[in-house]
Amino acid sequence: MRQFCGRAVMSIALLALATAASAQAVKLDTITTFVSPGLDGDHGLPGEAAQGRDGEFYAISIFSPDPIVAFFRIDPVSHSHIVATTLDTGQPNPGASRLVLAPNGQFYASFVADLGGGIVAFDPVTNTAKVVRQFLYAPGTFDPGPDGVQPGPLTLGQDGWLYGAMSVSSFESDENESGSLFKFDPATGTFVTLHLFHFDAGGAYPSAALAQGADAALYGTNSDVDTFCGNAFKFDLNTLILTPLHTFDVNVEGCSPGAFAVLASGLLVGVNYRGNNFDGSDPNSTNGAVYTLDPATGAVTPLYMFLASDPFTPIIPGDVTVTPDGSAYVLTQNVSAGIGSILRLHPETRAVEGIQDLFGPTPEIGALSIGRDARLYGIFASSEFFALGVLDQPSVVPAGGTYGGTTTLSAMLSALGVPLSGRTITFTLNTAAVGSAVTDAAGIATLNNVSLAGVPTGTFPDGVGASFASDALFPATAGTGLLNVLAAPTPGLMVGDGYVAEGLLRYDFQFVVQEKAN
pLDDT tens-digit map of 175-187: 899 999 999 999 9
Instruction: Count Cβ atoms below 10 Å from residue 142 Cβ, excluding itself.
Output: 10
Is 34 inside any structural domain? no
Over range 433-459, report the average pLDDT.
96
pTM: 0.89
Peptide bond into 347 cis (omega under 30): no
Helix (H) or strand (E) holding 409: strand 406-412
**Per-residue pLDDT at 518:** 54
For residue 267, being part of any structural domain is answered with no
Is 485 in contact with 403 (CB distance < 8 Å)? yes
Q: Which residues contact 99 (CB under 8 A, 6 or more apart)?
A: 48, 49, 50, 58, 59, 60, 107, 108, 109, 122
Confidence class of residue 493 from pLDDT cuts 50, 70 and 90? low
List 332's β-bridge partners, or say none: 314, 341
Asked whether the predicted pLDDT for residue 381 surpasses 70, the reply is yes
pLDDT tens digit sequence for 96-154: 999 999 999 999 999 999 999 999 999 999 999 999 999 999 998 899 999 999 999 99
**C-beta separation of 329 from 315 below 8 A:** no
Residues 75, 422: Cα–Cα separation, whole Å: 22
d(CA 486, CA 481) in angstroms, rounded, equals 16
Per DSSP, 207 falls in state -
Residues 427, 464 contacting (CB under 8 angstroms):
yes
Q: How far apart are the first and last CA of the chain?
A: 65
Q: Report the side by side order of strands in the sheet with 57-60.
A: 50-51, 57-60, 68-75, 80-88
User: Is it the case that residue 9 has pLDDT exceeding 50?
Assistant: no
| pLDDT of amino acid 15 | 21
170 part of a folded domain: no
Q: Report the domain count for the chain.
A: 1
| Structural domain includes residue 410 | yes
Distance of CA 377 to the CA centre of its chain: 10
Alpha-carbon gap, residue 105 to 123, rounded angstroms:
7
Q: pLDDT at residue 22 above 50?
A: no
* pLDDT value at residue 512: 59
310, pLDDT greater than 90: no
pLDDT at residue 251 in the model: 85
Which structural domain range is residue 465 located in?
395-513
Average pLDDT over residues 54-81: 97
Q: How far apart are CA 30 and CA 76, in angstroms?
A: 9
pLDDT digits (tens, 9 = 90+) for 392-426: 999 999 999 999 999 999 999 999 999 999 999 99
For residue 497, name the pLDDT band (cuts at 50, 70, 90).
low
Q: What is the pLDDT of residue 505?
A: 55
Residue 173 pLDDT > 80: yes
Say what the pLDDT of residue 516 is: 60
**CATH code of 419's domain:** 2.60.40.10
Asked whether residue 4 carries a pLDDT value surpassing 50, the answer given is: no
pLDDT tens for each residue of 33-52: 999 999 999 999 999 999 99
* pLDDT confidence tier of residue 322, bands split at 50, 70 and 90: very high
pLDDT for position 5 = 41
On whether residue 480 sits in a domain, the answer given is: yes
Which are the contacts of 357, defined by CB distance < 8 A and separation ≥ 6?
1, 2, 339, 340, 341, 342
Q: What is the Cα–Cα distance from 84 to 74, expressed in whole angstroms? A: 9
Residue 243 covered by a domain: no
Is 496 inside a domain boundary? yes
Of the chain, the percentage scoring pLDDT greater than 90 comes to 81
Q: What is the CA radius of gyration of the chain?
A: 27
Give me the residues paired with residue 271 across strands: 290
